[in-house]
A and B are shown apart, each in its own frame.
Chain A
Amino acid sequence: GAGVSQSPSNKVTEKGKDVELRCDPISGHTALYWYRQRLGQGLEFLIYFQGNSAPDKSGLPSDRFSAERTGESVSTLTIQRTQQEDSAVYLCASSLGTYWGLGTSGHSYNEQFFGPGTRLTVL
């Protein structure tokens, strides 16, 4: 079936501009995660949505970063007044969501499936 999709795949912007990144999770997945990966570094957690619970925003690096999710579907990550240090690949992932247990497919609920990412370059 369809996996996690993200758009755009590449985004080049000028310093100070706002950007909006989109993520479409796998249908039926209640958990959605945003990560950032700078060149040569590991995944850096940004924000986590789980159903109707308040999102875990503890990874957002500054108040220039925000994210929204409509129900259990599309999510958008917005970066305001972009800076050069924001240049990175932004990854979205989704999972069935419940922290413990197995889904009917046999996959663990907390297995995450990642999208292809959006490569953001701030000039």
Chain B
Amino acid sequence: DAKTTQPPSMDCAEGRAANLPCNHSTISGNEYVYWYRQIHSQGPQYIIHGLKNNETNEMASLIITEDRKSSTLILPHATLRDTAVYYCIVRVGETSYDKVIFGPGTSLSVIP
């Protein structure tokens, strides 16, 4: 699986949009971009995933660049409950269960 790089930490004001970047410059054509988050002392939570088109669900939006070498997770109106570590990973397919390693992720702090 391709490696990803993310900034170690970010702050966001409550109510504002949180934009979390991820670089995956070596991504292959059949690899999907997945985002998860982990709130302290809880298990990881799936947020969203996509291949090349932008995706939106009730939690977030995923913007993938045309060359697919980077993506941005957008939380449109961040709340204090969104404070967590956010992980960007790339995986082959939607049904693959190859070994996956979560990197350090981005620690997002939502500030009142």
Contact = CB atoms under 8 A, between A and B. Distances in A.
A111 B97 contact: no
Contacts of B104: 108, 110-111
Contacts of A93: 100
Contacts of A56: 41-43
B46 A43 contact: yes
A89 B94 CA distance: 12
Contact of A33 (B43, B49, B85, B97): B43
B43 A39 contact: no
Contact of B44 (A53, A112, A113): A112
Contacts of A41: 94
Interface residues of A, number: 34
B3 to A, nearest CB: 12
A37 B97 contact: yes
Nearest to A95: B102
A93 B100 CA distance: 9
A86 interface: no
Interface stretch (A11-19, A44-52, A74-82): A44-52
A97 to B, nearest CB: 11
B81 interface: no
Q: Which 3 A-B pairs have the closest CB atoms?
A: A42-B46, A48-B43, A45-B43
A48 B42 contact: yes
Contacts of A4: 99
Nearest to A89: B97
A44 B43 CA distance: 10
B30 interface: no
Interface in B8-23: none
Contact of A45 (B40, B44, B49): B44
A56 B102 CA distance: 19
A46 B43 CA distance: 8
Contacts of B105: 108, 110
B103 A43 contact: no
A58 B26 CA distance: 35
